[in-house]
Structure 1
Amino acid sequence: MTDYVYNLLKQHHSVRKFNPNDIPEETIKELIEAGQNASTSSYLQTYSIIGINDPTIKEQLKEVSGQPYVVENGYLLVFVMDYYRHATINDDKKVDMSVSFESAEGLLVGAIDVALVAQNIAVTAEDKGYGMVYLGSLRNDVARVKDILGLPEHTFPLFGMALGEPADDENGEPKPRLPLEHIFHQNKYNSDKERQRQEIEAFDQTVSEYYRNRTNGERSETWSDQIAGFMSSKQRLEMLEQLNKSGFIKQ
């Protein structure tokens, strides 16, 4: 037994600045194969992955995301929740499977499948020396992403992933995470609010100190301040409408 994977995962941080070197096609195929070996609920395999190396398409997706590393990377992946093949089986088998893939449970199963595949790819990429960053910002305009990528009904673009060699001056480092004792509950959930508050306050100090050290004192916000700011603003309120238009949450 070794701690290799544990230590690799503990080193993870999002990379947002890459060297301008393409990732070889063979390496991309290996990453996808590693992703496919993730667990999948009931063998459904409710995902597709779109690899993008066309500069024009990258530019179009950058307009949606607003992030420069959508273009400036070694390779771009878009992860799609995909029940299109299942809808095809539904037509051919003359059965009614729509109760599954148009339901809330189907949405959860599909999204979880995609996340498991993506994380396998992320860890494999980092094992090969590449950096990566997830791109939830592609959901800023789901309709346009679907149009750019030619996505049919019963598919939905969940997020992207920019991959590449970290730039020589890339100096990211792992951000602090909530203490294990705060997120790990044994046998049942510990809902003691006072304990929750004390642990959040302690974590706030850790995060504030992290930002202060990283920015030479220019930033010092706490974790709870970040969360309050983010979650009190309106976030993609059209998402349910877009899911409905894509054939989801109809049951």
Structure 2
Amino acid sequence: MKQSVYDLTQQHRSIRQFKDEPLSKETVQKLVEAGQMASTSSYVQAYSIIGITDPEIKKALKEISGQQHVVDNGYLFVYVIDYYRHSLINKETNGNMETSFESAEGLLVGTIDVALAAQNVALTAEDMGLGIVFLGSLRNDVGRVSEILDLPEHVFPLFGMAVGVPSDDEQGSPKQRLPFEHVFHENQYNSDKEQQLEQIKQYDNDIKDYYEQRSNGKRSESWSEQIRKMMSQKTRPDILEKLNIKGFMKK
């Protein structure tokens, strides 16, 4: 019996090792069409999906990402906020649309549109028996990504996605998420400090156990320790500047 969408979501894990089996054009089209059917704010459709098949472009993007699965995969997608088409309509109609797509709200709308489309692609790929991994590492140098992909003004790269048939050596497993009670708030946000800290403490123990079991004791790290190290670093400080260059966050 075919599994439910809920069951599929519970099995998700990032795949970083793929078999050398390129996706067919038909599969790629189905994945993109699934992404296109995601909800989009006010029918704006402020995104595009760029498929990368050129080995040299993959290699260049890998230099930015630093991750081998940018090159070794069944297919590589890059997701971009795209208001270029809207800017063309704006010029053709002598409109005043830039007050929308150059604003902070416009940035949020585009980002949400991209994320919704990408998640549709991810779920569809996993339903096909494929694996995926998101590649936020492409934002290590968004200016260079824009050059490589020849992105015009009002188009901004958010992340990539490697897709393919999981390698037989892939040993990943789903990571436990924060407790339901910690992320679900009914009617009002529960900011009870002691309750929040206790839930985080319990979760830290679970994640520490997960890493110890997965690494045979070679890694012992809680969720709090992991995110403290990551979020204490000043990462990608040029993002706002690059957004401005591309015509975003001007209003």
Instruction: Report the TM range for the smaller structure's normalisation.
Output: over 0.9
Residue of structure 1 equivalent to 2:71: 71
**Counterparts of 1:193 and 1:90, CA distance in 2:** 49
Distance 1:98 1:88 in 2: 11
- Pairing 1:120–2:120 present: yes
Q: Report the counterpart of residue 191 of structure 2 in structure 1.
A: 191
Give the Cα–Cα distance (whole angstroms) in 2 for the partners of residues 165 and 123 of structure 1.
Answer: 14
Take 1:228 and 1:70, find their aligned partners in 2: how far apart are those partners?
27
- DSSP 3-state at the match of 1:144: helix
Match of 1:4 in 2: 4
Residue 42 of structure 2 corresponds to which residue in structure 1? Answer: 42
Matched, 1:182 2:182: yes
State the one-letter code of the partner of 1:222.
S
- The one-letter code sitting in structure 1 at the alignment partner of 2:219 is R
* Runs of at least 4 residues off by over 2 Å: none
Distance 2:43 2:11 in 1: 31
Counterpart code for 2:115: A
1:76-116 deviation digits (Å, cap 9, x = unpaired):
00001000000001001111111100000000000000000
Rounded to whole Å, the distance in 2 between the matches of 1:7 and 1:152 is 40
Partner Cα distance (2:52, 2:26) in 1: 15
Q: Which amino acid counterpart does residue 23 of structure 1 have in structure 2?
A: L
- Structure 1, unpaired ranges of 5+: none
Which residue pairs with 1:246 in the alignment? 246
Per-residue deviation, 1:171: 1.2
Match of 2:101 in 1: 101
Deviation of 1:222 (Å): 0.3
- Residues 143-178 of structure 1 show CA distances to partners (whole Å, capped at 9, x for unaligned) of 100000000000000000000000011111100100
What TM-score do you get using the length of structure 2 for normalisation?
0.99
Letter in 2 for 1:90: N
Aligned to 1:208: 208
- Deviation per CA, 1:13-43: give whole Å up to 9, x if none: 0000000010001100000000000000000
Match of 1:137 in 2: 137
Q: Distance between the aligned counterparts of 1:231 and 1:81, measured in 2?
A: 24
Alignment of 1:149 with 2:149, yes or no, is: yes
Q: What is the aligned-residue RMSD (CA, Å)?
A: 0.8
**One-letter amino acid of the counterpart of residue 187, structure 2:** N
What SS does the aligned partner of 1:77 have? strand
Q: Which residues of structure 2 form unaligned runs of 5+?
A: none
**Cα separation, 2, equivalents of 1:82 and 1:209:** 42
Secondary structure of 1:118 counterpart: helix
The number of residues matched between the two structures is: 250
